[in-house]
Amino acid sequence: MRERARAKINLFLHLGERRSDGYHELESLVAFAGIGDELSFAPSDALSLAMDGPFAPSLQNESGNLVLKAAQALAANAGISPNAKIALTKNLPVASGIGGGSADAAAALRGLCRLWKLSPLRDALDEIALSLGSDVPVCLQSKSAWMTGRGEHVAPISLPRISMVLVNPGVAVSTAGVFAKLQSRSGTGHPKPDDIASATDLAAYLKTTANDLEAPACEIAPVIEEALTALLNTGALLARLSGSGATCFGLYERDADAERAANTIAKTRKGWWARSTFIP
């Protein structure tokens, strides 16, 4: 039994007030990439998690723990023992603003519902997801969405297939650390996009928006600006940070443009991760 944990991209991310619970109100257009981590689930008489893949070594318990926490939270809700043999192939860079741990946790919830033959109410599953992290509810759907609240309100939005490059300049940044340096907030209430038919349309719409976390993330890790410049130099229609970074995305008119861009960046920047993919 397999589930893919697709990379989550915040095409824009606007923040509002800091709430009394410490989280910020946010508004984000979220999309998912054609690439992601892979999880598999098998019956067992205990709960275990094995990890492999290029980024497994850099996974200091964090993301792994979220998969195990997801299993425990789902089992507790159903009143059963969390017994499963889970394997995670970690293809995505860790602590990098593209969902990593959140997408893995969401994939674990989906996979374990199938393995354990559970069909919790949508609200109950969403609540478990939110208890694991603000991005887990949107990752549960793993479809383009307009996300608001702390991350718990997820409304589907339709986007055409768009060519994209993801670049991580090899640094891990802490989400809480980036939030702590936040200075200007765009606020919520931005108009939703309509009639997006191409990468050019999407880029034009996104130019009316921002990622409020980009400036504080660049302050913490200036190499992010180099990643954004590298994307623009390869002809990206738009280049921006996803989430709290350090992964940046670039949008391209054609797959061939994205493939060429990813190859150029991978070849010229040692230690960077660059992949050509698409918004399905």
Least distance to ligand C5P, CB of residue 135, Å = 6
Least distance to ligand C5P, CB of residue 169, Å = 21
Q: How far apart are CA 99 and CA 90, in angstroms?
A: 12
Q: Please tell me whether residue 41 binds ligand C5P under the rule CB under 6 A.
A: no
Q: Which two tokens stand for residue 230?
A: 């590298």
Q: Please tell me whether residue 135 binds ligand C5P under the rule CB under 6 A.
A: yes
Q: What is the DSSP letter of 173?
A: -
The residue from 9, 26, 238, 262 that contacts ligand C5P (CB under 6 A) is 26
The residue from 14, 69, 150, 240 that contacts ligand C5P (CB under 6 A) is 150
SS3 114: helix
Q: Which two tokens stand for residue 84?
A: 């499963």
The residue from 6, 8, 14, 24 that contacts ligand C5P (CB under 6 A) is 24
Q: Please tell me whether residue 70 binds ligand C5P under the rule CB under 6 A.
A: no
Q: Please tell me whether residue 134 binds ligand C5P under the rule CB under 6 A.
A: yes
Q: Amino acid letter at 140? A: L
Residue positions counted in the chain: 280
SS3 45: coil
From the list 140-148, 173-181, 185-193, 259-267, the region that binds ligand C5P by CB under 6 A is: 173-181
Least distance to ligand C5P, CB of residue 21, Å = 9
Q: Which two tokens stand for residue 272?
A: 């960077």
Q: Please tell me whether residue 151 binds ligand C5P under the rule CB under 6 A.
A: yes
Within 8 A by CB and 6+ apart from 20, the residues are none
Q: One symbol per residue from 114 to 133: x for binding ligand C5P (CB under 6 A), - otherwise; what is it?
A: -------------------x
Strands 24-42 and 2-18 come out as antiparallel
Least distance to ligand C5P, CB of residue 134, Å = 3
Contact 57, 64 (CB under 8 A): no
Q: How many residues bind ligand C5P (CB under 6 A)?
A: 11
Tell me which residue has its CB nearest to ligand C5P: 134
The residue among 99 and 193 lying less far from ligand C5P, judged by its C-beta, is 99
- Give the residue from 244, 249, 219, 224 showing the smallest Cα distance to 234: 249
Per CB under 6 A, contacts with ligand C5P among 175-194 are: 175-176, 179
Least distance to ligand C5P, CB of residue 214, Å = 15
Q: How far apart are CA 38 and CA 86, in angstroms?
A: 10
CA angle 104/64/272 to nearest 5° reads: 75
Q: Which two tokens stand for residue 97?
A: 């603003």
Peptide bond into 246 cis (omega under 30): yes
Active centre residues (catalytic): 8, 135
Q: Please tell me whether residue 82 binds ligand C5P under the rule CB under 6 A.
A: no
From the list 19-27, 85-93, 157-165, 214-222, the region that binds ligand C5P by CB under 6 A is: 19-27
- Where do contacts with ligand C5P occur on this chain (CB under 6 A)? 23-24, 26, 133-135, 150-151, 175-176, 179
